[in-house]
């Protein structure tokens, strides 16, 4: 499905990615458009699913969630116990249910899944991997990469001129 976005659509999206708390009136002033246009365009962008949701981005470290890890996981496509098939997607969906897990991606290469995890400390990450993650049916092996420092982290999507 190709969606044509004009310059005002892109400007509105850029502003909302920066600060979704702004009112339609404030956005209208910034994009030099009537408030009714901003309301209509925003509603259209929501209906098209381009704007999925609005949320607060929290400072995890201020809430005691000080440690981030990325985990590479390999899926065994046959359960060892009964040789039944295991779905890579089903394993990913099972992992995604854990509240500590922020992201789960099905990837190419030597590994099948990339998982982003946040927890209080290294010990909590270890407990998660040993006591929760490795117990999931179909998960063969994992490699945990601890994050020392985050230089950039964003939810912003690059906006291309004349996006379709």
Mean pLDDT of 25-30: 96
Provide the pLDDT confidence category of residue 84 given band limits of 50, 70 and 90: confident
Question: Is residue 79 pLDDT above 80, yes or no?
Answer: no
Q: Say yes or no to pLDDT of 17 above 80.
A: yes
> Who contacts 64 (Cβ-Cβ below 8 Å, separation ≥6)?
120
* pLDDT on residue 164: 52
Q: pLDDT per residue over 96-155, tens digit each?
A: 999 999 999 999 999 999 999 999 999 999 999 999 999 999 999 999 999 999 999 999
Pairing of strands 139-146, 67-75: antiparallel
Rounded to 10°, the helix 35-47/7-18 angle is 80
The 10s digit of each residue's pLDDT in 36-60 is 999 999 999 999 999 999 999 999 9
Q: What is the dihedral of CA 93, 102, 71, 82, to 10 degrees?
A: -20
Question: CATH top-level class for 60-146?
Answer: alpha beta
Top-level class of domain 7-47: mainly alpha
Angle between helices 35-47 and 24-31 (to 10 degrees): 110
Q: ∠ CA 70-75-77 to the nearest 5 degrees?
A: 170
Domain boundaries, the chain: 7-47, 60-146
Q: What is the pLDDT of residue 24?
A: 95
pLDDT classification of 2: cutoffs 50, 70, 90: low
Quote the tokens at residue 109: 């290469």
């Amino acid at each position: 499905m190709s969606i044509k976005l004009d310059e005002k659509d892109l400007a509105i999206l850029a502003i909302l990615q920066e600060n979704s708390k702004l009112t339609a009136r404030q956005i209208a002033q910034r994009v030099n458009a009537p408030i009714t246009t901003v309301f209509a365009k925003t509603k259209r962008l929501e209906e098209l699913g381009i704007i999925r949701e609005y949320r607060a981005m929290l400072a995890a470290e201020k809430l005691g969630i000080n440690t981030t890890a990325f985990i590479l996981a390999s899926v065994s496509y046959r359960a060892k116990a009964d040789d039944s098939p295991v779905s890579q997607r089903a394993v990913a969906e099972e992992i995604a249910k854990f509240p500590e897990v922020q992201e789960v991606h099905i990837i190419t290469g030597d590994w099948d899944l990339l998982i982003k995890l946040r927890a209080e400390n290294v010990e909590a990450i270890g407990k998660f991997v040993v006591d929760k993650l490795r117990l999931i049916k179909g998960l063969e092996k994992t490699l945990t990469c601890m994050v020392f420092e985050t230089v950039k982290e964003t939810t912003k999507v690059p906006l291309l001129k004349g996006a379709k």
